[in-house]
Structure 1
Amino acid sequence: MSYCCSQWWLLSLAIFLLALTVQANENVVKTAVFLSPKFVLGPGQVEDKIYYNIDFPRGHIAIKEFNGEVVDELGNSVPLHETYLHHWVVQRYNAPKGVKVPEGNGDQELHFSKNFAVRNAGVCQGRVLGQEFGIGSETRKTKVYVPDPYGIEAGNTVEIPNGFEERWMLNIHAIDTRGVVDRLGCTECRCDLYNITRDKSGRPLRPGYTGGLFCCYDQTQCKLQEGFENIKRSLYLRYTVKWVDWEDTIVPVKVYIFDVTDTGTSGCQIEYDVESCGGNDLGNSRCVDTKKSKIVIPGGGEIIYGVAHQHSGGVGSTLYGEDGRVLCSSLPIYGEGQEPGNEAGYIVGMSSCYPQPGTVKVFEKETLILESNYNSTQKHTGVMGLFYILVADSPPKLMPSLKTYVHYQWALILIGVAVAVIVGVGYLRRDQRERGYQSIVMNH
């Protein structure tokens, strides 16, 4: 091998070793795919259970993404026009070590007891909207990745009470609409289609309540077409979690969830009705129902992500600052076909906001304005106007961690060694030439 080729070979080796060193020491994003417990639905039936202690990554981690979809026993994606995913919700909780929490809907008092539920930083103080993650029919096409260097911190033992351990729970609300007489009416939980006059606790519905969560609780039945074959099938929520191991360079974010029904006095109602404008022009501004709410955010910081949650009929939502500045606007993506992720008439995604770091800020105790818009050509029951934001209360750390510093020191050492070898080989070959030695070259 000639001196020139030796130099190139050694230089290539140095670059390769550097790449290996940097790559091996990056905080690699890990991915895991899990299945929820099986649930069985027949045409028109409803699933709405809480599953405790679901599979989830362990350890002190930064969650980068959580998403899910309904699949059948073969792992095939199920279209929304067959099984409508009203919502899924994932929340962490602290459970006494060694104590088994009831499955199904479980012990609600235990669920909401002190030291049990770990709520987000949002402002809804009742028994609702405490989750870190949760959307609905739009789950397949909504970007939910937490950008670097941010992450949702989990598994920090300092924040877990003594004698407890961190676990995760899942609520799935799915409606099977195969063979129903009114698919939209069933997904909007119209009480007449479910023949419901009392809520799941047996209490009479309030006067004027015509549709919503109180009429499509677990195991209720939406009206079917005459003679439709009742074939049940087993389903799962397949959920994907992405995370990295926690490092001191990761900036933790807080999860805030706002609800346009939040009045500040009666709390968050989660759902509301959109009355018909009586018109038939989809582009007519008179047929857009606009609902607004003023919400005081308890903490401040930089918004690094935002997205809204709406139901069919939604035309977009915007979160404003106290001075009227737009913090984030989120618009629905409607499907146009039949395949999963593109179902016509359904919201299959919501646009999300990823502001440049430091460009969009909220201030502690600032009064935000949430606006939710729905097309009101026809009446809609049980719609939602939620808005999720992730807020970092501290800027990214500019100084590299000791671990990163050590990694790059090793990389520099490897380069130094390679360069020394190249110089040494060059010196040796020059010395050989000066002494009259010739290298042996084989000719073919």
Structure 2
Amino acid sequence: MSGASHCGLLSLAILVLTTFVSPTSQRDLRMDENGLKTETFLSPKVEHEPGSVSNKYLYDIGFPKGHIAVKRFDAEVVDEAGHSVPLHQAYIHHWAVRRYYKPLGHHSNNDSTSTYKLAMNAGVCDSLPQYFGLGAETRQTDTHVPDPYGIEVGNPPEGYEDAWVLNLHTIDTRGTVDSLRCLECKCELYNVTVDGFGDPIGNVYTGGIRCCYDGVRCRLKDGYSSDVRKVYYMKYTVTYVDWNPSIVPVKIYIFDVADTLEWRESLQRHHCWIEYEVESCSGSTANEKCVDTKSVSVNLASGGDVIYAVAHQHIGGIGSTLYGEDGQTICSSFPIYGEGTEPGNEAGYIVGMTTCYPQPGSIKIVEGEMLTIASNYSTRLSHTGVMGMFYILVAEPLQKCNSTLQAQPEISETTVNPADDL
């Protein structure tokens, strides 16, 4: 396995079956007078010790049933008492919720004869097929989908039903010698020489997802007790309405600034490597010039109106911009850094990302248009395992929509066994 392919530890195109669980029974359903429904769920528990890493795939998680339009998806990590957990205790490296289809009537998680189909977002990265997902910025990032739009779910292929899997990657930084380097997955602090696949890491790769896989532990301060176990959950709230003909479906696109392109005959293949490194600037360089800008340009196969956009960055990020082919700014998204100690305002951490809600019809992407992503990081310090992604929601222009228009999800050509990679 090549070094770059180890990004599959993070890539949701390679879902190793580490945990297969039934959905939690803890849920709360509410509905307002306008028919807007809100359901709150708790994921299965995740256990942590100081310095430990958990990167679990939790299958069959709770999700609203029926043919619906998702209007918002909010999440956070809580403890056993339901209290919000601060990032300086349990850092959310990332979470992602993706959709798959399982045969109707299938209820046994251990039935090796059952097959599943993968539901993909609209692209462009096959390695990022999630419908929803963020990271440490979760609590202060707006996720609402404005009217009359919605993310359509609950319309699986005949003979199948919707199911959902959560990938939750958290790092418990209590008592660690260097919490920043631990959450950036600096290899030397994890004392690992092989990655989660058992392959040698080597000396070139100094930090990132390959060094902080499920079950490893970051170095603790001398004398710090490692026996203090904590139990966490991801608490997530889905806001939605029942599907109706007046709703305009949107397509989800996810771009990765670490994308590299390969042409095979007339087809373009995206290698989205998910993460990259940022080197520190030299001491002689003026501080205001200590910025690393990484960019990539990709074609969008289909067009439409942009109705939402947001970037994803790690600590050190100073903003990202998505440009159209003519140089027009589609969206600039900037990190919000915390200033206190309470959950959602942790000093030094990115606790939110600004979002863009263009007036419908004001920003259009034409079929085949070349888009450019530019991700900016401060280089006053070096950073490993950083990310530069952009999420956008695109809809057909309103004048072209009608009651029969539906945003059909992409379906993987591969049929898989629950005992294999999903």
Same fold? TM cut 0.5 = yes
Q: Provide the secondary structure at the position in 2 that maps to 1:264.
A: strand
Q: Does 1:387 align with 2:383?
A: no
Hey, what does 1:97 align to over in structure 2?
Answer: 104
Shift of 1:366: 0.7
Q: For structure 1, which segment, 197-206 or 133-142, has the greater mean C-alpha deviation from structure 2 after superposition?
A: 197-206
The structure 2 residue matched to 1:268, chosen from 263, 267, 272, is 272
Q: 1:280 to 1:305 in 2, by over 3 A?
A: farther
Q: Distance in 2 between matches of 1:280 and 1:223?
A: 32
Hey, what does 1:246 align to over in structure 2?
Answer: 243
Hey, what does 1:194 align to over in structure 2?
Answer: 190
Shift of 1:99: 3.3
Q: Distance in 2 between matches of 1:399 and 1:368?
A: 28
Normalized per residue, the structure richer in helix is: 1
Q: Does 1:225 align with 2:230?
A: no
Hey, what does 2:121 align to over in structure 1?
Answer: 120
Identify unmatched segments of 5+ residues in structure 2. Answer: 1-30, 263-269, 405-422
Are the aligned partners of 1:192 and 1:210 in contact in 2 as well (CA < 8 Å)?
yes
Output aligned runs, 1:393-412, within 5 Å.
Answer: 393-395=396-398
Hey, what does 1:166 align to over in structure 2?
Answer: 162
Q: Percent identity?
A: 56
Are the aligned partners of 2:193 and 2:202 in contact in 1 as well (CA < 8 Å)?
no
Q: Provide the secondary structure at the position in 1 that maps to 2:271.
A: coil
Hey, what does 1:216 align to over in structure 2?
Answer: 212
Shift of 1:280: 8.6
Q: Does 1:181 align with 2:189?
A: no
Q: Does 1:347 align with 2:350?
A: yes
Q: Distance in 1 between matches of 2:105 and 2:217?
A: 37
Q: 1:119 to 1:400 in 2, by over 3 A?
A: closer
Q: Provide the secondary structure at the position in 1 that maps to 2:398.
A: coil
TM-score normalised by the chain length of structure 1: 0.78
Code of the residue aligned with 2:260 in structure 1: it is T
Q: Does 1:70 align with 2:67?
A: no
Q: Distance in 1 between matches of 2:348 and 2:323?
A: 28
Shift of 1:284: 2.6
Q: Provide the secondary structure at the position in 1 that maps to 2:152.
A: strand
Code of the residue aligned with 2:239 in structure 1: it is K
**Residues 349-407 of structure 1, C-alpha deviation per residue, up to 9 Å, x if partnerless?**
00000001100111111110000000001110000000000000231689999xxxxxx
Output aligned runs, 1:3-402, within 5 Å.
Answer: 27-100=34-107, 116-125=117-126, 128-156=127-155, 160-230=156-226, 231-265=228-262, 267-279=271-283, 284-395=287-398
Q: 1:365 to 1:189 in 2, by over 3 A?
A: same
Are the aligned partners of 2:361 and 2:397 in contact in 1 as well (CA < 8 Å)?
no
Q: Distance in 1 between matches of 2:230 and 2:107?
A: 29
Shift of 1:102: 5.0
Q: Distance in 1 between matches of 2:59 and 2:43?
A: 10
**Residues 288-334 of structure 1, C-alpha deviation per residue, up to 9 Å, x if partnerless?**
00000011111100000000000000000000001110000000000
Shift of 1:204: 1.1
Q: 1:235 to 1:26 in 2, by over 3 A?
A: closer
- What RMSD, in angstroms, separates the aligned Cα atoms of the two structures? 2.3
Q: Distance in 1 between matches of 2:249 and 2:401?
A: 15
Q: Distance in 2 between matches of 1:398 and 1:187?
A: 45
Code of the residue aligned with 2:83 in structure 1: it is N
TM-score normalised by the chain length of structure 2: 0.82
Q: Distance in 1 between matches of 2:83 and 2:284?
A: 38
Q: Provide the secondary structure at the position in 2 that maps to 1:161.
A: coil
Q: Distance in 1 between matches of 2:403 and 2:396?
A: 19
Q: Provide the secondary structure at the position in 1 that maps to 2:205.
A: coil
Shift of 1:189: 0.4
Shift of 1:196: 1.3
Q: For structure 1, which segment, 391-400 or 293-302, has the greater mean C-alpha deviation from structure 2 after superposition?
A: 391-400
Identify unmatched segments of 5+ residues in structure 1. Answer: 1-23, 402-444
Q: Distance in 2 between matches of 1:400 and 1:162?
A: 21
Which has more radius of gyration?
A: 1
Are the aligned partners of 2:93 and 2:183 in contact in 1 as well (CA < 8 Å)?
yes
Q: Distance in 1 between matches of 2:361 and 2:203?
A: 48
Code of the residue aligned with 1:124 in structure 2: it is C
Hey, what does 1:431 align to over in structure 2?
Answer: none
Q: Distance in 2 between matches of 1:26 and 1:74?
A: 31
Q: Distance in 2 between matches of 1:191 and 1:176?
A: 16
Are the aligned partners of 1:254 and 1:390 in contact in 2 as well (CA < 8 Å)?
yes
**Residues 260-292 of structure 1, C-alpha deviation per residue, up to 9 Å, x if partnerless?**
0111126000000001112498x8332100000
Q: Distance in 1 between matches of 2:179 and 2:245?
A: 50
